Every structure is written in structure tokens, then in C-alpha cells.
Amino acid sequence: MVSTNDLKNGMVLDLNGELWQVQWFQHHKPGKGNTVVRSKLKHVLSGKIIDKTFNSDTKVDTATIDRRDMQYLYLDGEDYVFMDNTTYDQVHISADVVGEARFYLLDNQSATVAMHEGIPLFIELPASVELEITYTEPGLQGDRSTGGTKPATLETGKEIQVPLFITTGEKIKVDTRDGSYISRVNG
């Protein structure tokens, strides 16, 4: 149990037997009445996001989430196979749980797997990853200025927008939260 005054981003709450992750919260003091806590909660299994308002200092149940550093090994049919870095146990995680993270996973990449009572809930990746461009249209001479973008396909199959000067075969840094281009990787 925790007070709504102690909410933190990323905390997982157990509301009526369902797990919700706090995405955002704000303490709000209206002109009249008691302070309330406004929040955006994301359903851990379905990904649905809701707005919920709690009275200040209300007690809510928190879920015990076990976050483990794991290494992505390979895709086995529909399941993604991860290895626990401490016990070397292999865990099969369904594509539904991996979700959008699959577009940023390469073999042997580290990720944090959040589990509740032995059941994988979601994958947390680093804020950015380095991926190679497998295909993009060539840029035209003179397209070196800021501004325009073009589609590019990454080695994981994800298509993102990149600046016009990026070419096939280059490595780029990609933001795993929204899939946006960050920078070129020099090397």
C-alpha cells in the first residue's frame, strides 16, 4: 500500500486486480475543496491509457514488479527468447508482451524485463539504440541543409524518417520511446 501523495512515474499499481503503470501524475489544489492527484495510467497488459483522479492521501495497492536485466537471444516462432544475466535461465516472451520493443531488438542486446509473479509484463529498452539503415532512397546533391526528411528502413524492419543526407548502410542512433532519428553514429 502506498499513498497517492507518494506516486512516482513508472510505479505499477494494482487497482481492482488489474495492473496499471503510472505514466504521469500531478497534485492539483482546486480553489475550493481538497487536493486531488490527477494521473495518466497505462494498463500493463493491454496498453490502454486512462486518466484517473484520486483524492489526496488515498491508499492504493502497489504491485511487486521484479525488473531483471536480460539479454535478447533470438526469435523462436512467435516468442522472443531472453536469458537472465544472473541465473542464465531462458525465458520465452510472447510478441504481444514485447510489443514495439521488437523494432529495436538485435541479437545479444540487453534489455530490462519487468515481471510480476513470474509472468513477463513488458520490456524496457535503453533510451536509444544504434541500428543500421538497410534501405533508403539516395539524397540529391544539395540536400545537405536542415529540414527535409525521407523514409528509411532499419535492420529490424522498422521504417522511420531520417534527414536527406543519410544513406543506405549507415548506422544511426534511434530513440526507442518514439522511433525518431537522433543522430548519425560515427565509426
CATH of the domain at 112: 2.40.50.140
| 120 shares a domain with 88 | yes
State the average pLDDT over residues 165-170.
Answer: 90
| 58 shares a domain with 70 | no
pLDDT, position 165:
85
Of all residues in the chain, the percent with pLDDT exceeding 90 is 54
Range of the domain at 84: 66-124
| 70 shares a domain with 52 | no
pLDDT, position 97:
87
Which one of 62, 92, 109 terminates a domain?
62
Please indicate whether residue 2 or residue 33 has the higher confidence score (pLDDT): 2
Residues 101-131 have pLDDT tens digits of 999 999 999 999 999 888 898 898 999 999 9
Rounded Cα gap, residues 123 and 176, in angstroms:
11
Selection from 103, 117, 114 nearest residue 159 by Cα: 103
Per DSSP, the three-state class of 57 is coil
Does 178 score more than 80 pLDDT? yes
Q: What is the pTM for the complete model shown?
A: 0.75
Bridging pattern class, strands 79-84 and 49-55: unpaired
Number of structural domains (the chain) is 3
| 135 shares a domain with 157 | yes
| 136 shares a domain with 178 | yes
Which one of 124, 142, 160 terminates a domain?
124
Question: What share of residues in the chain are helix, strand, coil (percent, to 5)?
Answer: 5, 55, 40
Residues 56-96 have pLDDT tens digits of 888 999 998 899 999 999 999 999 999 999 999 999 999 98
Q: How confident is the model at residue 187 (pLDDT cuts 50, 70, 90)?
A: low
Which one of 14, 45, 62 terminates a domain?
62
CATH of the domain at 28: 2.30.30.30
| 154 shares a domain with 172 | yes
| 119 shares a domain with 82 | yes
| 76 shares a domain with 47 | no
Bridging pattern class, strands 36-43 and 49-55: antiparallel
